[in-house]
Structure 1
């Protein structure tokens, strides 16, 4: 099968739309008896609790946990059982309790996890991100490629699944159909929050400084497609356009080196007009957003596309790939969608956003005026469903 298509699992190794339901083959989750109090949500932090990298998955986990507040108890899978993260005591679940995970996992990484799901000692829900390791294995972390088939199949043993977009929901349901699973849990698409660091939303268009700055957020790797962005910007600099490009994100150690080499080569030619911020915390990212004329997001594949949402939260227009998953949020305003992988089209789009003040003003006005979900909204949607 060609690139971008779901692939057969390997035969070796570990293998607005707020709540949209999945097909009628879905297994009905076990309900709560009338009058029964709402239970505890044991929130999985096995991997992300101590993670240092500012990955999308880590940010999703931490923002959700923060918004759940006292309704959620951090928990980890350790020594074959679910334990409280604060004192390592084994979890003793009640009938109304839930286990909620937004992490990736496999039986090899969590021995005994399949038996835990089968025992049904408490209800289980998961946040599903994407099927990118199956669709783009050639540019995905090898560990993720090996894990993903078994992970997707194991999700079918949960009671509820929340997908980070309608596109991701459809991918998961399609994969389950391809596997021929007779019974699957309901899958609902939920809106992820745009308020990445909990900062106040920009509600009035801001005039960015001169020279204009373009900002690219995301790990440096082929999937994020910074190579295309460098080519488009190089063409504009050769035209004499005065602007800066700021690339914010760590390098993918498996696939990012050629892109970093291209970035450093171009930086030697254009000097301070091209800046790579390999390590940036939330405050540094917010400062870069405050100075940006537009964010640029030439990605090849996403589960949701948080950089687009976060850009709009800061009132900054986003020039993004014309992917169905991104259009779920881009079509409401503030974005300029560009054909995926088309260097000429991207060069033209960046030229427009840099030179056309009317276009920029209209996009910025739309960005600050349109509705955007918050992480409090996301947590409320999920918590409401966990009854």
Structure 2
């Protein structure tokens, strides 16, 4: 039996990457002995009935969490971890709050050390990339921690929605419309300001295209980016911000755009590029080791972080070179992509 932690992600109001990982994994695991639970008043309860959960290690029960936590947020949680009442597993996303504290929400920075220390007492850690697994090991070494946990890598699913078929040559339009898509919260880490600089230069050259940003506004860092987009729209009418796009709206954007752009500074995995590939879109991504774990398989172009000339050249080529666009689209449609069913199978195989 797997008890799946939805304390925060169950009632989440916006679809962050972490929330999507939680919902999609639970969707795939729920059909086979998996129960959603929440941490409440120092213990675990069934998320639907509210009934208290009594664990038994003899029954080979696992508590699996995709969420971020600390003792300050979940009073008594450290004691539960150390109690040995059941086996513990966690999906580990990244160490970004420690590596980039200046552009990370304050609460995340404060929580990260406690969270990563507590993970060392779990039985199994499922890292979303080799890069994030290495960061976790490095943190433990720096802290002088000998972890009890075994760290394994899982591959997240690319399929955008549970019932959305993968794009194929038969069902993917040619995307003649010159439009780009960038998905991610408006914040410095996602680097939208840099992309705005690049687009502004291309528009001033006379190129005509749409630039669609999709993502919530980070409450600590995002307002200046939103304000800049609003100001630039007075001059560049092809610029659009979609703060809360439904899945149907996202599907429409995927259909109309030529490529998805991800100028990000740091990622733990990079779920939006995978979802864009599923929908048949070529991707232009920052040349980061973590993204190279799957961008090297085709349909993606990488450019150095914050290298304006390189990014301008790539976007100009995608806008004007139909042969290049066709080549990239062919690579996207031909390459294998992981599904959430695959990810769930990896999880079940690990939790034995």
Give the TM-score of the pair, scaled to structure 1: 0.88
Q: 1:326 aligns with which of 287, 291, 301?
A: 291
Gaps of 5+ in 1: 1-39
* Structure 2 residue 80 is matched with structure 1 residue 116: yes
Residue of structure 2 equivalent to 1:54: 15
Asked whether the 8 Å contact 1:246–1:276 carries over to 2, the reply is: yes
The separation in 1 between residues aligned to 2:147 and 2:109, in whole angstroms, is 25
* Structure 2 residue 167 is matched with structure 1 residue 202: yes
Asked whether the 8 Å contact 2:121–2:148 carries over to 1, the reply is: yes
* Structure 2 residue 113 is matched with structure 1 residue 149: yes
Q: Aligned-pair distance for 1:82?
A: 1.1
The separation in 1 between residues aligned to 2:324 and 2:136, in whole angstroms, is 37
Residue of structure 2 equivalent to 1:256: 222
Q: 1:352 aligns with which of 311, 314, 317?
A: 317
The separation in 2 between residues aligned to 1:353 and 1:340, in whole angstroms, is 18
Q: 1:87 aligns with which of 49, 69, 84?
A: 49
Give 3-state SS (helix, strand or coil) of 1:76's partner.
Answer: strand
The separation in 1 between residues aligned to 2:326 and 2:175, in whole angstroms, is 14
Residue of structure 2 equivalent to 1:22: none
Q: Aligned-pair distance for 1:261?
A: 1.7
The separation in 1 between residues aligned to 2:128 and 2:146, in whole angstroms, is 24
Residues 158-205 of structure 1: CA deviation (Å, up to 9, x unaligned): 000000011000000111111111233110111000012121001217
Which aligned runs of 4 or more in structure 1 are off by greater than 2 angstroms?
Answer: 205-211
Residue of structure 2 equivalent to 1:382: 347
Residue of structure 2 equivalent to 1:7: none
Residue of structure 2 equivalent to 1:76: 38
* Structure 2 residue 153 is matched with structure 1 residue 192: no
Give 3-state SS (helix, strand or coil) of 1:268's partner.
Answer: coil
Q: 2:196 aligns with which of 230, 248, 255?
A: 230
Give 3-state SS (helix, strand or coil) of 1:49's partner.
Answer: coil
The separation in 1 between residues aligned to 2:83 and 2:295, in whole angstroms, is 42
Give 3-state SS (helix, strand or coil) of 2:233's partner.
Answer: helix
Q: 2:28 aligns with which of 64, 67, 88?
A: 67
Residues 231-254 of structure 1: CA deviation (Å, up to 9, x unaligned): 111111111111111111111110
Residues 261-313 of structure 1: CA deviation (Å, up to 9, x unaligned): 22112111112x11111110111111100111000000000011011101110
Q: Aligned-pair distance for 1:209?
A: 4.0
The separation in 2 between residues aligned to 1:359 and 1:373, in whole angstroms, is 25
Give the TM-score of the pair, scaled to structure 2: 0.97
Give 3-state SS (helix, strand or coil) of 2:30's partner.
Answer: helix
Give 3-state SS (helix, strand or coil) of 1:200's partner.
Answer: coil
Residue of structure 2 equivalent to 1:276: 241
Question: 5 Å matches for 1:234-313?
Answer: 234-271=200-237, 273-313=238-278
Asked whether the 8 Å contact 1:63–1:196 carries over to 2, the reply is: no
Residue of structure 2 equivalent to 1:221: 187
Q: Aligned-pair distance for 1:384?
A: 1.0
The separation in 2 between residues aligned to 1:61 and 1:178, in whole angstroms, is 29
Give 3-state SS (helix, strand or coil) of 1:174's partner.
Answer: helix
Residue of structure 2 equivalent to 1:180: 144
Asked whether the 8 Å contact 2:176–2:258 carries over to 1, the reply is: no
The separation in 1 between residues aligned to 2:248 and 2:161, in whole angstroms, is 8
The separation in 1 between residues aligned to 2:189 and 2:229, in whole angstroms, is 16
Residues 213-239 of structure 1: CA deviation (Å, up to 9, x unaligned): 100111111110010111111111111
Q: Aligned-pair distance for 1:346?
A: 1.1
Gaps of 5+ in 2: none
Give 3-state SS (helix, strand or coil) of 1:236's partner.
Answer: helix
May I ask how many residue pairs the two structures share in their alignment?
Answer: 347
The separation in 2 between residues aligned to 1:341 and 1:189, in whole angstroms, is 29
Residue of structure 1 equivalent to 2:93: 129
The separation in 2 between residues aligned to 1:213 and 1:279, in whole angstroms, is 19
The separation in 2 between residues aligned to 1:266 and 1:41, in whole angstroms, is 49
